[in-house]
């Protein structure tokens, strides 16, 4: 197991370097010049040249990349030229909101998807299975912003049960925090549960045809025990992968959902940075999110190995 | 001209004895003190230090008009009234303006407000070392002097007849900050602003909410009603409006580009649509030093091919109001004849045919959904007349430098709402000005611009500005599409919102029924 972890960690390195390279090139690829952005109306050719020199923008790109990477490795991600906040400060303020949102969304998606998958697998081919498979397919094609607006319309404007926008930190008022989080998390969960259900359902149908399940049935175990104890764990390998990959999709969805529901999370920070061409914040956030995603995948790989010993021994 | 100036010698000195002038246009009896208001803004506020944020946007202005004071404010008739300045007067040539300041005013941190503090604000913005993006807007001012505690002297490079109106809203240049605060807080000052205004910043969670509380020592506290103002950035127009409908917020910023919400609110008795027809307009400049715009026929053809009504319908459900001159309904400049070219597609086609060569050019647009839409609509309109326009998308911050360096054929621009047309008209059209984007020179136009800025008689100035527009419209060096219009939607209970001059939503003296 130690060898397996070490080897996987080694794979991680080139990926992280690639992430940092891509992130850095954002600044060079995006239209517009940072010096122009900072100077605005004060941008005369001389002022721009002077500022570019001060910021090292006149250096070759590899030199800029290395010095940026050097700073990043020392924990210095830079400072927004608009607000004066450091990237780490800004991220630290916003990250808890996004993590909470993603956890709740993932829990919601699993809470909807897993039970439905089990029921569908148990009655595969039946009317409920066919109906749910169809619904899941339909839900996959509903864009996040549309479900967000519909949820706001019904639950906030018409019924007035939940707030349309806003946020209260969990530490300040846990109950209020959850009230604000329900709709955004549900929006994301609605986009995720179909994948979870479809994957788990087909894996479970395959598992239920295995010999040991027939044996369990022959021994007279209750259907519930067979489904939950004997079939669920071996069927959930793909589910773990999907859940891991979903984190990446959730980050993408969070950008939209946080904007619509006015949650002060990483997604909003990213959108704000893009709109104001705050490239320092943009670079820093994309790098941190990218690295987080890569590390998340690493953890999923590890979980895989725990769930199925064949994987860590390289037999699968 | 000299005689004209001399004859109005008396009118030249504007002296306002202001102790008795009420700050709110509403009758005092209708006001109700206490309670709080929650305002939904469209943007995150980046901060308040002009050195950092440069120019305040609409969201920052709502906050700054509660935290900061200015020398003057504009009353419901658009006339400047005393705020931190009690009275003012000008020199004969309108190049020196002297303000007498209100005594006994303190910043929220206890620092006394006086001429020295005001001067420090100005010097900080002006100092070239600070490279402030705010400096452009005070380039007409040579310096500010503080001869004594309560006297402030502005020395201008060029005459400005209506100067006290120009320092009337809490913009990056006119909001007065506590010098002690920015010196002691350094980089942190940006997010910890200190002014003399009716509200004090209590807390601010980035991206979430800003809470302002009533300043108990405010010099005009009887006119201030709410105990607390909560400002929330709600970037999505649909959910911002939903928050208003569901009662989570009391007032939201809005604009023509979410016309559906405005039209829905107009039919809803529980909501009030506040609108202000500003001065100024959305405008476009053609670089007359580059072909095909070096030929007046092409320029005129493009203007004649515009169908502003169709554009307004396509982009804003018809809410946007067509403009045929740069002044707008909210301006005191009203022209009987502004010389607008007729919208006439056939004539436009004929002019382009007459030009003889293919008309092809690039136009800068902002890389935003709004910029793209407007660009595409214009592209289609001009295609019908036989002109091929290519859209070049750039980010917002790139447009000013590209424009100043004349690296464009056609660029969008905006005439913002200032209380006096002079500053912008002079900068935009006087030969040699860095903002004279059309690269166009005409002694006749220069003469009119020079005269209008030193004439004290408003009627004569109106005549001059209308003559200026007739000239520009005839030469078609710039064209105007829509007048500036501003929107806020509130619960019907919110009262006492002043006119939204320059698009500023100032809730500092509003109240709820």
- The pLDDT tens digits for A83-123 are 888 899 899 989 999 999 999 999 999 999 999 998 998 88
The predicted pLDDT at position B234 comes to 92
Report all structural domains of chain B as residue ranges with CATH numbers, in order of start: 36-250+493-512 (3.40.190.10), 278-485 (3.10.105.10)
Identify the closest residue of chain B to A161 by CA–CA distance. Answer: B246
Length of chain A: 316
**Interface residue A41 vs chain B (CB under 8 A):** yes
Residue B270 or B1, more confident: B270
Question: What's the distance, CA B144 to chain centroid?
Answer: 23
CB B490 within 8 A of CB B253: no
* Matching residue, tokens 């044996």: A215
The predicted pLDDT at position A312 comes to 63
% of chain A at pLDDT higher than 70? 93
Q: DSSP E strands: which ranges in B163-257?
A: 199-205, 209-214, 228-233, 251-254
A152 with B239: Cβ contact below 8 A: yes
- The pLDDT tens digits for B113-134 are 999 999 999 999 999 888 888 8
Instruction: Indicate if ipTM > 0.90.
Output: no
A163 with B133: Cβ contact below 8 A: no
Contacts of A163 in chain B (CB under 8 A): 243, 246, 248
Please list the ranges in chain A whose pLDDT falls under 50.
316
DSSP-derived 3-state class of residue B201: strand
**Interface residue A156 vs chain B (CB under 8 A):** yes
Mean pLDDT of B479-494: 95
- The pLDDT tens digits for A11-34 are 888 888 888 888 888 766 766 677
Contacts of A276 in chain B (CB under 8 A): 46
The predicted pLDDT at position A154 comes to 93
At CA B374, angle to CA A30 and CA B360, rounded to 5? 80
Report all structural domains of chain A as residue ranges with CATH numbers, in order of start: 2-73 (no CATH), 87-308 (1.10.3720.10)
Q: Is residue B471 over pLDDT 70?
A: yes
The predicted pLDDT at position B24 comes to 42
Lowest mean pLDDT, pick from A307-316, B414-423, B482-491 = A307-316
CB A284 within 8 A of CB B251: no
pLDDT-derived band of residue B386, with 50, 70 and 90 as boundaries?
very high
% of chain B at pLDDT higher than 90? 77
User: Which residue, among B47, B136, B208, B247, would best test binding to A if mutated, counting the most A CBs under 10 Å from its CB?
Assistant: B208
- The pLDDT tens digits for B340-358 are 999 999 999 999 999 999 9
H or E stretch including B403? helix B399-404
Length of chain B: 513
The predicted pLDDT at position B5 comes to 39
Contacts of A44 in chain B (CB under 8 A): 404
User: Which residue, among B57, B135, B188, B206, would best test binding to A if mutated, counting the most A CBs under 10 Å from its CB?
Assistant: B206
The predicted pLDDT at position A233 comes to 80
Distance CA B198, CA B217 (A): 8
Q: Which among A200, A135, A167, A137 has a CA at the least distance from the CA of B209?
A: A167
% of chain B at pLDDT higher than 70? 94
Angle between helix A144-151 and helix B237-245 axes, rounded to 10 deg:
10
A43 with B247: Cβ contact below 8 A: no
Distance CA A75, CA A59 (A): 22
The predicted pLDDT at position A31 comes to 63
- The pLDDT tens digits for B75-108 are 998 899 999 999 999 999 999 999 999 999 999 9
Q: Cα torsion for B265, B267, B273, B278, to the nearest 10°?
A: 110
pLDDT-derived band of residue B1, with 50, 70 and 90 as boundaries?
very low
pLDDT-derived band of residue B23, with 50, 70 and 90 as boundaries?
very low
What phi, psi does A240 have (nearest 5°)? -60, -45
pTM, two decimals, is 0.85
Strands B199-205 and B96-101: unpaired
Q: DSSP E strands: which ranges in B312-415?
A: 359-366, 387-394, 410-415
Contacts of A38 in chain B (CB under 8 A): 133
Minimal CA separation from B433 to chain A, in Å: 14
The predicted pLDDT at position B11 comes to 38
CB B37 within 8 A of CB B497: no
Question: What's the distance, CA B301 to chain centroid?
Answer: 30
Q: In what order do the strands lie in the sheet with B251-254?
A: B199-205, B209-214, B228-233, B36-41, B251-254, B478-491, B271-286, B410-415, B359-366, B387-394
Q: Is residue B15 over pLDDT 50?
A: no
Q: Is residue B7 over pLDDT 80?
A: no
The predicted pLDDT at position A296 comes to 81
User: Which residue, among B401, B414, B428, would best test binding to A if mutated, counting the most A CBs under 10 Å from its CB?
Assistant: B401
Enumerate residues 224 to 283 of chain A having a beta carbon within 8 A of any beta carbon in chain B: 259-262, 264-265, 268-269, 271-272, 276-277
The predicted pLDDT at position B25 comes to 43
Strands B478-491 and B271-286: antiparallel
Identify the closest residue of chain B to A81 by CA–CA distance. Answer: B52
B239 with A167: Cβ contact below 8 A: no
Minimal CA separation from A56 to chain B, in Å: 18
Residue B491 or A290, more confident: B491
Helices (H) and strands (E) in chain B, counts: 16, 18
Q: Residues 6 or more apart from B35 whose CB is under 8 A from it?
A: B225, B226, B227, B511, B512
Minimal CA separation from A253 to chain B, in Å: 15
B238 with A149: Cβ contact below 8 A: yes
Q: Is residue B28 over pLDDT 60?
A: no
pLDDT averaged over every residue in chain B: 90
Mean pLDDT of B23-47: 78
- Please report the DSSP string for B113-133 in residue order: P-HHHHHHHHHHHH-GGG--T
Q: Which among A87, A85, A17, A24 has a CA at the least distance from the CA of A56?
A: A24
């Amino acid at each position: 197991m130690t060898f397996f972890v070490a080897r996987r960690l080694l794979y991680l390195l080139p990926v992280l370097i690639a992430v940092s390279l891509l992130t850095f090139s954002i600044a060079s690829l995006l239209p517009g010049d940072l010096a122009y952005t900072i100077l605005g109306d004060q941008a005369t050719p001389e002022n721009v040249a002077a500022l570019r020199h001060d910021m090292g923008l006149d250096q070759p790109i590899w030199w800029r990349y290395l010095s940026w990477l050097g700073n990043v490795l020392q924990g210095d991600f830079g400072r927004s030229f608009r607000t004066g906040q450091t990237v780490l400060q800004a991220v630290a303020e916003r990250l808890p909101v996004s993590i909470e949102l993603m956890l709740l969304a993932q829990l919601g998606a699993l809470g909807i998807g897993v039970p439905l998958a089990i029921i569908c697998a148990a009655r595969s081919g039946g009317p409920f299975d066919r109906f749910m498979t169809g619904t899941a397919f339909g839900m996959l094609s509903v864009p996040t912003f549309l479900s967000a607006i519909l949820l706001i319309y019904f639950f906030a404007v018409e019924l007035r049960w939940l707030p349309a926008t806003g946020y209260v930190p969990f530490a300040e008022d846990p109950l209020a925090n959850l009230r604000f989080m329900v709709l955004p998390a549900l929006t994301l969960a609605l986009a995720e549960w179909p994948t979870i259900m479809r994957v788990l359902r087909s894996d479970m149908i395959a598992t239920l045809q295995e010999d040991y399940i027939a044996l369990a049935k022959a021994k007279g175990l209750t259907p519930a025990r067979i489904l939950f104890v004997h079939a669920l764990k071996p069927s959930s390998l793909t589910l773990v992968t999907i859940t891991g990959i979903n984190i990446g999709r959730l980050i993408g969805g969070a950008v939209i959902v946080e904007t619509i529901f006015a949650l002060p999370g990483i997604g909003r920070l990213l959108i704000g940075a893009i709109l104001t061409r705050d490239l320092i914040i943009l670079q820093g956030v994309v790098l941190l999110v990218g690295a987080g995603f890569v590390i998340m995948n690493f953890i999923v790989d590890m979980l895989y190995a725990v769930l199925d010993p064949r994987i860590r021994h390289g037999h699968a | 001209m000299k005689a004209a100036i001399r004859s109005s010698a008396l009118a030249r000195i504007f002296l306002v004895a202001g102790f008795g002038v009420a700050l709110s246009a509403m009758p005092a009896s209708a006001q109700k003190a206490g309670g709080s208001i929650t305002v939904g803004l469209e943007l995150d506020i980046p901060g308040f230090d002009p050195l950092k944020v440069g120019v305040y946007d609409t969201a920052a202005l709502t906050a700054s008009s509660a935290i900061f004071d200015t020398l003057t404010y504009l009353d419901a008739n658009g006339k400047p009234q005393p705020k931190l300045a009690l009275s003012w007067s000008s020199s004969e040539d309108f190049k020196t303006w002297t303000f007498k300041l209100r005594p006994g005013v303190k910043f929220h941190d206890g620092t006394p407000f006086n001429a020295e503090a005001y001067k420090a604000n100005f010097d900080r913005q002006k100092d070239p070392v600070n490279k402030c993006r705010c400096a452009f807007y005070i380039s007409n001012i040579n310096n500010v002097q503080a001869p004594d505690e309560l006297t402030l002297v502005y020395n201008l490079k060029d005459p400005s007849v209506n100067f006290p109106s120009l320092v009337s809203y809490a913009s990056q240049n006119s909001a007065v900050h506590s010098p002690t605060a920015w010196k002691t807080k350094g980089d942190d000052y940006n997010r910890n602003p200190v002014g003399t205004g009716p509200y004090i910043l209590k807390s601010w969670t980035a991206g979430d909410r800003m809470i302002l509380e009533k300043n108990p020592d405010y010099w005009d506290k009887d006119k201030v009603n709410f105990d607390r103002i909560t400002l929330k950035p709600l970037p999505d127009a649909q959910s911002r409006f939903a928050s208003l409908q569901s009662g989570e917020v009391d007032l939201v910023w809005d604009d023509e580009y979410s016309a559906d919400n405005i039209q829905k609110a107009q039919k809803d008795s529980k909501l009030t649509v506040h609108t202000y027809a500003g001065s100024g307009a959305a405008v476009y400049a053609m670089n007359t030093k580059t072909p095909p715009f070096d030929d007046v026929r092409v320029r005129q053809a493009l203007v004649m091919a515009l169908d502003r009504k169709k554009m307004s319908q396509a982009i804003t459900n018809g809410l946007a109001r067509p403009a045929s001159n740069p002044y707008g309904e909210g301006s005191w400049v009203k022209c009987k004849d502004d010389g607008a070219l007729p919208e006439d597609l056939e004539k436009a086609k004929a002019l382009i045919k007459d030009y003889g060569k293919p008309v092809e050019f690039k136009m800068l647009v902002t890389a935003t959904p709004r910029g793209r839409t407007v660009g595409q609509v214009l592209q289609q309109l001009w295609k019908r007349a036989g002109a091929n326009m290519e859209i070049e998308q750039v980010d917002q911050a790139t447009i000013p430098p590209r424009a100043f360096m004349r690296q464009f054929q056609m660029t969008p621009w905006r005439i913002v709402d200032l209380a006096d047309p002079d500053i912008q008209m002079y900068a935009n059209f006087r030969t040699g000005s860095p903002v004279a984007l059309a690269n166009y020179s005409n002694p006749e136009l220069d003469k009119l611009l020079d005269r209008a800025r030193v004439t004290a008689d408003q009627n004569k100035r109106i005549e001059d500005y209308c003559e200026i527009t007739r000239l520009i419209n005839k030469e078609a060096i710039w064209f105007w599409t829509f007048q500036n219009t501003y929107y806020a939607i509130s619960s019907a209970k919110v009262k006492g919102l002043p006119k939204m001059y320059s698009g500023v939503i100032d809730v500092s003296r509003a109240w709820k029924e």
